[in-house]
Structure 1
Amino acid sequence: MTPGPKNLITDVPGLLVGNAQDDALKSGTTVLTSDSPFMASVHVMGGAPGTRETDLLAADKSVDRVDALVLSGGSAFGLDACAGVSDALYARRRGFPVGRAVVPIVPGAILFDLLNGGDKDWDDNPYRVLGRRAFETASDQFDLGSSGAGTGALTAMHKGGLGSASLVLDNGVTVGALVAANPLGSVTTPGDRHFWAAPFEIDREFGGWGTDPATGLGRQVISRKAQVMHPAEPDKTNTTIAIVATDAALTKSQCQRVAVAAHDGISRAIVPAHTPGDGDLVFGVSTGAREIRSTGPDLGMIGHAASICLARAIARAVYLAAPAEGDLLPCWSQQDGAATTDTGPV
């Protein structure tokens, strides 16, 4: 397996991603869409999810394809981004046909970034506008780090962000991941330099520092975020939300199995993960362009690749986060010795 040419989820042919953010708000929205509806399902492993229309993605529900998926900041307010995307789709007469009516299908998930230092004193909910703007700018190229839904994200120790990664399997199937990382846990080991996801890094895509040589890791859970945001209730300000996608032709239930497997990527990249205070959620997507065996090794390998892509995407989100005025936490790149060269860390 090797990364696709862009090392983005849009290496899956046909998928497009758009970002919109408000830097004063310190929040934003990311939309994944395509020129035609795609198969989707979802799996939730966090204890505090915030979602829209995810019940529709269960295998026994009648609608099996969606027009777009939304990842957004803003907590419950951010779910309004889905309405903005629906407005844009409706203007194009895209959606689920019911007689003469057309109903866009736009599930979404949110993360909590309301206490990150941005100006949240709005009169009108800004997320509907951000959702529509993100959809209308969707393309196969998009920014990572402090962009879109990752604009105001924070991990335990550093700014979080938006990340993506891809792999092309030996059989030609492409798998990609897109994530907004705002977890309760840390993305780096104690000392802040080494990423938990380091064993899965490819071509120094998040600095090339390698694995932490220390042993006995994970027994201490320290959080700068808890200290500066909500010391009394640190489990109320989190969540990692993600999409994994493939061009392999999968059923809705198979998309869910890939989403389940992809959660391993969260636990490989974030410690601790899937806590009661995280709303950790993964959407699984298939564009259906490439036929595979319906069960067995192909499906299992797609899930495995999705987990690796998601772990790498989480590390890339933090690695690429950029400093901004009013930040509560430092970026990974701001610490001493974080700079790298073409030949490795310096």
Structure 2
Amino acid sequence: MKNLITDVPGVRVGNAQDARAATGATVAVFEGGAVAGVATLGGAPGSRAVSLLEPEMMRGRIDAVVLSGGSLFGLDAAGGATSVLVAGGHGGTFGGITLPVAVQAILFDLTNGGEKDWLRAPMECRPPYWELGRDAALAASDAFALGTAGAGYGATTVNLKGGLGSASARTSQGFTVGGLVAVNAVGAATIGDGPHFWAGAYEQGQEFGGLGWPARLPASALGLRFKGLPAPATATTIALVATDATLSKPACKRLAIMANDGLARALRPVHAPNDGDTVFAAATCRGAAAEEPPALTELGAVAADCLARAIARGVHAATALPFANAVPDWQQRFGAGRPSGLP
């Protein structure tokens, strides 16, 4: 177990980023395809082909999930990823044409200090997302970077640098569950002004510092802090959970709904009006069926825990962007050697 979503058999993940533009893309590829569902609880989502995942739609399997920065410009990333899927023989065949399905969600990272030429000169400069999607799909493997990488490259939270996170676990029935998330939250992943993560109760070992929760919540802990005060700014946390259990599309939908609780366990606030918070759920169907309520309940609970841990890992592993007024990273504020009064 690498404590990554790629611990789920049949899942590979790749990252690509543009350091100058401070943005990137992450692609999860399913070898042999996957059954999938989605639950979107943010008020301002951006996505591609997610209607296919609803239980009443006829397409049964998908081939990849794309997470990308760039807001609506980032939707080009699925096109680049699709080109790699076609070349690799992924997808169904219709009239002799191979048609893979790459669904996508985007996050808003357009004001993080990176050079976004295409915003100033749209007729002369092309957004980099098609190439980022292609390169991320080409890089897909069982090991990938966390923190300031892929779709999390330009991501931020209200007080700390956001990033790409992942975590995995096994259920009591032997199913493997993994989470993958790009943390670009409107709120905070940490409690008050201290180093402790809201997800501290779910931490395994010292995967994001081993601090747990503070012995007593500070008075500032429940004070709301979010981007763009007094007017909320656009922000999004986008994620994927996957399992090797065999699930139907309706069961994947339920899994995605339950997994959204992981965002609420790790971020405050979340699912806001200008958020695009979206969670995909995919089943590679390499294990036994888990349709019965007890098994599906455990899958959903473990998936939510994995996402909460992945969010904290993404923030804990991130490094600040090299621009003026960039938000600091967790290590800068609270890491080893920093005089922050930590225990």
Same fold (TM over 0.5): yes
2:16 maps to what in 1?
Answer: 20
Alignment of 1:128-167 (within 5 A): 128-167=130-169
1:329 maps to what in 2?
Answer: 327
Q: For 2:218 and 2:253, locate their aligned partners in 1 and report how far apart those are by CA, in whole Å.
A: 35
152-161 or 82-91, which deviates more: 82-91
The one-letter amino acid of 2:29's match is T
Q: Which residue among 207, 220, 225 is the counterpart of 2:223?
A: 220
The one-letter amino acid of 1:221's match is L
1:37 deviation in Å? 1.1
1:305 maps to what in 2?
Answer: 302
1:219 deviation in Å? 3.6
Q: 1:326 to 1:103 in 2, by over 3 A?
A: same
User: Is 1:40 paired with 2:47?
Assistant: no
How far does the alpha carbon of each residue in 1:284-335 deviate from its partner, in whole angstroms, 9 at most, with x for none? Answer: 0000011134212111000000000000000000000013311610001101
Q: For 1:324 and 1:64, locate their aligned partners in 2 and report how far apart those are by CA, in whole Å.
A: 40
Q: 1:120 to 1:232 in 2, by over 3 A?
A: farther
Q: For the Cα contact (< 8 Å) 2:65–2:104, is it kept in 1?
A: yes
Q: For 2:155 and 2:237, locate their aligned partners in 1 and report how far apart those are by CA, in whole Å.
A: 9
Q: For the Cα contact (< 8 Å) 1:263–1:307, is it kept in 2?
A: yes
1:93 deviation in Å? 3.6
Q: Which residue among 291, 297, 320 is the counterpart of 1:294?
A: 291
How far does the alpha carbon of each residue in 1:220-253 deviate from its partner, in whole angstroms, 9 at most, with x for none? Answer: 1124x53xxxx664332x0000000000000011
2:249 maps to what in 1?
Answer: 252
Q: For 2:198 and 2:84, locate their aligned partners in 1 and report how far apart those are by CA, in whole Å.
A: 39
Q: For the Cα contact (< 8 Å) 2:193–2:220, is it kept in 1?
A: no
1:215 deviation in Å? 5.8
User: Is 1:266 paired with 2:268?
Assistant: no
Q: For the Cα contact (< 8 Å) 2:82–2:100, is it kept in 1?
A: yes
2:122 maps to what in 1?
Answer: none
Q: For 1:329 and 1:67, locate their aligned partners in 2 and report how far apart those are by CA, in whole Å.
A: 35
How far does the alpha carbon of each residue in 1:141-179 deviate from its partner, in whole angstroms, 9 at most, with x for none? Answer: 000000000000000110000000000112110000000
User: Is 1:50 paired with 2:46?
Assistant: yes
1:209 deviation in Å? 1.3
Q: For 1:320 and 1:89, locate their aligned partners in 2 and report how far apart those are by CA, in whole Å.
A: 30
1:235 match: secondary structure: coil
2:121 maps to what in 1?
Answer: none
* Aligned residues: CA RMSD: 1.5
Q: For 1:244 and 1:93, locate their aligned partners in 2 and report how far apart those are by CA, in whole Å.
A: 24
Structure 1 alignment gaps of length 5 or more? none
Q: For 2:321 and 2:277, locate their aligned partners in 1 and report how far apart those are by CA, in whole Å.
A: 26
The one-letter amino acid of 2:241's match is V
1:288 match: secondary structure: coil
Q: For the Cα contact (< 8 Å) 2:32–2:63, is it kept in 1?
A: yes
What is the aligned residue count?
A: 331
What TM-score do you get using the length of structure 2 for normalisation?
0.93
2:198 match: secondary structure: coil
Q: 1:268 to 1:306 in 2, by over 3 A?
A: same
How far does the alpha carbon of each residue in 1:233-287 deviate from its partner, in whole angstroms, 9 at most, with x for none? Answer: 4332x00000000000000110111110011110010001111111111000000
1:197 match: secondary structure: helix
The one-letter amino acid of 2:306's match is C
2:284 match: secondary structure: strand
1:284 maps to what in 2?
Answer: 281
